[in-house]
Amino acid sequence: MNYETASKKLSGYRDQIAELRKKTRAVQASVRPQPVEDYEFSTTRGTIRLSGLFGEKNDLFVIHNMGASCPYCTLWADGYNGVYDHLANRAAFVVSSPDAPAAQKKFARSRGWRFPMISHRGTTFARDMGYGSEKEGWRPGVSVFRKERGHILRVSDASFAPGDDYCALWHFFDLLPGGPGNWRPKFKYA
């Protein structure tokens, strides 16, 4: 297929993806929110409840991160660092992992991360949200919460996986001949 023909075909597919996103947003807007309890988390400054993570915002992104042992979760978190100010301007944003707060702080400092982190270690939060457990293993994703009339509601969530919409890297790789190939993220590159 020549470049011009392929470009037109790809443009059509991208238009279809844009239309699917509109449909996705419409369904998301119709979802009945799920009430959740006011979980308590550990931080380097002590404990904080889910309700305290909102700050002055009504909406909150909580990233379900598998911790410092996962190069994929590290890749996603490196990306949040770049968009953190934009996200935090619209909604509160925090990354949750099973790592102890001191380990989180040390790892975040080594990566230059600027966003807040909480530890869900010793809680049922990740399991209750559908993102694993110590016994089954953790899974990455995001849950979005809304504070409304004294209640905390989960309004949406999405799992993360290579190729998803939550890491721009995959979409850049899609433009390369062969896509990502057998590339895997690393904590450091030579």
- Tell me the pTM: 0.93
| Alpha helices, DSSP H, located in the chain | 3-30, 71-90, 101-111, 125-128, 168-174
List pLDDT tens digits, range 23-43: 999 999 999 999 999 999 999
- Per-residue pLDDT, 136: 85
Contact 62, 53 (CB under 8 A): yes
The region, left, alpha or beta by phi > 0 then psi within -120 to 50, assigned to residue 138 is beta
Q: What is the pLDDT along the chain (190 residues), one digit of tens a residue?
A: 999 999 999 999 999 999 999 999 999 999 999 999 999 999 999 999 999 999 999 999 999 999 999 999 999 999 999 999 999 999 999 999 999 999 999 999 999 999 999 999 999 999 999 999 888 899 999 999 999 999 999 999 999 999 999 999 999 999 999 999 999 999 999 8
> Domain boundaries in the chain?
33-174
In DSSP notation, 60-95 reads: EEEEE---TT-HHHHHHHHHHHHHHHHHHHHSEEEE
CA–CA–CA angle 14, 27, 125 (5° rounding): 105
- Per-residue pLDDT, 135: 84
Block residue for tokens 């010793």:
122
Rounded Cα gap, residues 25 and 41, in angstroms: 30
- Per-residue pLDDT, 22: 95
Q: Which residues contact 186 (CB under 8 A, 6 or more apart)?
A: 71
Q: Which residues contact 35 (CB under 8 A, 6 or more apart)?
A: 151, 152, 153, 154
The dotted CATH code for 33-174 is: 3.40.30.10
The pair of three-digit structure tokens given for residue 40, joined into one six-digit string: 């308590």
Nearest to 64 by CA among 142, 159, 153: 142
Rounded Cα gap, residues 33 and 13, in angstroms: 32
